[in-house]
Chains A and B, each alone.
Chain A
Amino acid sequence: MKNVAYLLIALGFLAGAFFAVEQREGVTVPYFLGALALGVVGVVMIRVARREAATRAETIRANLGAIETSLASVVGKVQRLDETKEETDVYDLRHVIDREFPDDLDAFVQARYSLVHTFGLQSFADVMNPFAAGERYLNRVWSASCDGYINEAHDYVVKAREQFESALEIFRGLAQA
């Protein structure tokens, strides 16, 4: 169904674009509207198909699982970073970040829109807010580590930890509700 829907949108768009540009002045309105209507049918079909797919139990389970796993892993790693920061050379903190975090952060980012489908936009925003802040703080630790600012790097490891923990807590609250 999805492929047919995309095909209708593409055909409707191409036909509509042709009728829009075929004359220097004016547009062949009946043909143009007909082409547009074809595309609108495709849009309706794709939206129905997407809603069905998004609300399918196994899809939701898989995506929410990916979110839980990646976020929990990030929290675990940032907690370890916090606990070992005093023993780690400040200039090495950024190497730990480069080595440990990108895959989990990326996995969360790839699955994040499942939050919208499952819990709605406001909940998505409520989780993304601390997640994005945590990631930005981690980036600040990277910068401070590069420049050797030890207090800043350590302070922002703590702040990043708080934000990621908050994101995980909100997510788990939503999942249990």
Chain B
Amino acid sequence: MSGESGREIRRGSYPEITWPAILIGYVLGALIAVSIGYLSLKLGFSIEGSELAAILGFGILRGVMRRKSIIENNINQTLASSVNGASAGMMFSIPAIFILGYTDFNRLLVVLACMAGGVLGIAFIIPLRKQMIDFDRLAYPGGIATAAILKAPGAGVRKAQLLVGAALLAAIVHLASLMTGFENWDVGALLGLPEYMNGIWYISLLTIGTAYLAGRGGWFFVVGGYVCYWILAPLMDFRGILPTPAELETAGQGMATYLRLQLFRPVGIGMLIGGAVTGIALALPLVIAAIRSMQQAAKVKSVVSRDELPIRFLYMGIVGAVVLLAGTAVMAVPHIEPWRMILMAVLGATWVWLAGIVLAECIGRTQWSPLSGMTLIGITILIFVASGMSDRDTVVASIVVGAAMCVAMAQATDLMLDLKTGYLVGAIPRKQQIAQFLGTWLGPILIMGLIVVLHQAYGMGSDKLPAPQGQALASVIQGVLGGDVPLDKYLSGAGLGALLSASGIGGVGIMVGLGFYLPFNIILTYTIGTLLREFTDARLGRKFADDSGIPLAAGLIVGEALVGVGYSLMVVFSA
């Protein structure tokens, strides 16, 4: 039947969680998980899968199968990125066991633990969705970009043109960057800035687009980076306490790398934690209010309550987390003492919740996720608890439990992004959460298989398969076992993060901490997007952002991310 406009009018239910969405979600999720997983083993970084899943799913469901449902696309993208969620979670942790040489661990146990970890991450996010998306309305730039893709058919030709044009531009720039190896531009050297000011710019239009979408939420993140390299480092130079060339040579690092890895990053990790703990204390009344509000709505069986997974899933998640982590610890190391097992489980579950909040807040305000730092701290805590057993048992128990925690954290942040997209396209959160559950089992199987196959083929940590994140974790573990933990830096950072968060400005302790934690080249480029957003909002009004800025920024993210995955596929098939 056609309407006045001559277009087909459809009656009946609006397709949302359907078989095509699920099956194609599995296929795309598997493809993306393996590609990104391999990419992170080769190059040491990971890519968020939602935008890619959205655009690929969009092409198949709308383009090839001629299906017409934005919210079905949303379910497809939610499921596919859920499969990929295991990729980031496991690639940070599992390769370290191989690199440390303790390969006689139970692979099936790791897979089961990671599957269960993913489920727990999803359960933990239930009240956070209400607080962070409905009430605090965090930006989630990646969620906005994904929503822009899904809504493109109805947003008008001009917006679609802007999105596609920006995507093409970003794709060309990123492709050129990858082909030539010109990924950073040392503007600081051109201007004659001292090395400690670290004036190297990351060549990435995705970063600019992300900052534009984050808007003012990204300001404090930017501030954190500038404080490090443009205030603290010059002050250290003034006091004559910068590391000497001999110290740099001993450490095998340049000035900027030394400052970041030895000084700023540990303090930044502490700030993330201190900022989060204080932020939680301040936000706890709101979380409790959100839970009460959900309970109240459930009692009267309101329409809204049917949109959410019942809050009892959260309570089951908390109990399940402790049982799961305890079970994983005891199965990984059968002769572990009961007190140690229980302590690992309780601390691990607490860490999943705490880190889940940190990650959701960071990705919600800036799109950058300090997952590796959170994993590092989580595993360090576990090693402290596990130490006293043999090195092998300590490492295996800590990493296996840590991998489950890491997947939980990765799934939680991925789901928050997808829920933001869902909010913007009018999806029902419960259906998205179900799609996330449906996808979370597949990733651990694929990623464990990928790791085992590649380890047998090349050897984890070899020149052909450097696994940089795994190597970093392995070296930290060796340091922790040898008693080398920058505890004073973590604690002082925690104090600073707590101070900033206590000021009451939303997320400021975590954001500034993230600026301390991340490489400055990203922050410099990010600044361009932040300034552009300020400029367009001030001079051209918010309507410009809605009509032109957001589609352009979303296009920049999509174009670069697509080329990133294409490149990783090329690496997979040419290996």
Closest chain B CB from A166 CB (angstroms): 9
B residues 412-443 with Cβ under 8 Å of A? 423-427
Report the bound CA distance from A42 to B5 in whole Å: 61
- B491-513 vs A, CB cutoff 8 Å, 1 = contact: the mask equals 11101100110111000000010
Flag if A14 contacts B227 (CB, 8 Å). Answer: yes
Known: A14-B231, A136-B426. A89 touches B5 (CB 8 A): yes
**How distant is the Cα of A23 from the Cα of B262 in the complex, in angstroms?**
10
Contacts of B247 in A (CB 8 A): 24
Chain A contributes a number of interface residues (CB within 8 A of B) equal to: 66
Q: Within the assembled complex, what's the spacing in Å between the Cα atoms of A24 and B243?
A: 9
Q: Is A83 among interface residues, defined by CB-CB distance under 8 A? A: no
- B290: A residues at CB distance < 8 A: 125
Contact status A27-B499, CB under 8 Å: no
On whether A91 and B499 interact (CB within 8 A), knowing A24-B263, A143-B151, the answer reads no
- Whether a CB of chain A sits under 8 angstroms from the CB of B137 is yes
Which of B66-74, B198-206, B382-390 contacts its partner? B66-74
8 A Cβ contacts from A7-55 to B: 9, 12-14, 16-27, 32, 36, 39-40, 42-43, 46-47, 50
Q: What is the bound-complex CA distance between A141 and B151, given in angstroms?
A: 12
Q: Does A169 contact B (CB under 8 A)?
A: no
Contact B134 A126 (CB under 8 A): no
Q: Is the CB of A129 within 8 A of B7?
A: no
A133 surroundings in chain B (CB, below 8 A): 303-304, 307
B235 touches A125 (CB 8 A): no
Closest CB in chain B relative to A177 CB, distance in Å = 17
A145 within 8 A of B: yes
Total A-B contacts with CB atoms under 8 angstroms apart:
177
- CA of A34 to CA of B247, assembled, Å: 30
A62 at the A/B interface (Cβ < 8 Å)? no
Question: In the complex, A28 Cα to B134 Cα: how many Å?
Answer: 43
Shortest CB-to-CB span from B231 to chain A, Å, is: 7
Q: Looking at the complex, which one of B70, B424, B504 makes contact with A50 (CB distance below 8 Å)?
A: B504
Q: Tell me whether B496 and A148 are in contact (CB under 8 A).
A: no
Give CA–CA (A153, B247) in the complex, Å. Answer: 67
Q: Chain A interface secondary structure, helix, strand, loop or mixed?
A: helix
> Cβ of A163 < 8 Å from any Cβ of B?
yes
Cβ contact of A122, chosen from B13, B14, B292, B307, cutoff 8 A: B292
B232 at the interface (CB under 8 A from A): yes
Partner of A129, one of B4, B297, B500: B297
B183 adjacent to chain A (CB < 8 Å): no
Contact of B10 among A27, A142, A149 (CB under 8 A): A149
Q: Can you name the residue of chain A whose Cβ is closest to the Cβ of B150? A: A143
Q: Kindly identify which residue among B9, B426, B488 contacts A142, using a CB–CB cutoff of 8 Å.
A: B426
Indicate if the CB atoms of A151 and B11 lie closer than 8 Å: yes
Complex CA distance for A50 and B282, rounded to whole angstroms: 15
Cβ contact of B264, chosen from A21, A26, A106, A138, cutoff 8 A: A21
Provided the pairs A139-B425, A149-B10 are in contact, do residues A9 and B5 lie with their beta carbons within 8 angstroms? Answer: no
A22, B500: Cβ atoms closer than 8 Å:
no
Nearest chain B CB to A158's CB is how many angstroms away? Answer: 10
Query: Is A43 within 8 A of B503, CB to CB?
Result: yes
Q: Which residue of A lies closest to B135 (CB)?
A: A128
Q: Which residues of A contact B263 (CB under 8 A)?
A: 21, 24
* Chain A residues in 8 Å Cβ range of B69: 143, 147, 149
Residue numbers in B under 8 Å from A71 (CB-CB): none
CA distance A102 to B550 in the complex (A): 15
Q: A46-B504, A147-B154 are in contact. List 6 more A-B contacts (CB 8 A).
A: A21-B232, A21-B489, A139-B423, A145-B154, A147-B14, A147-B70
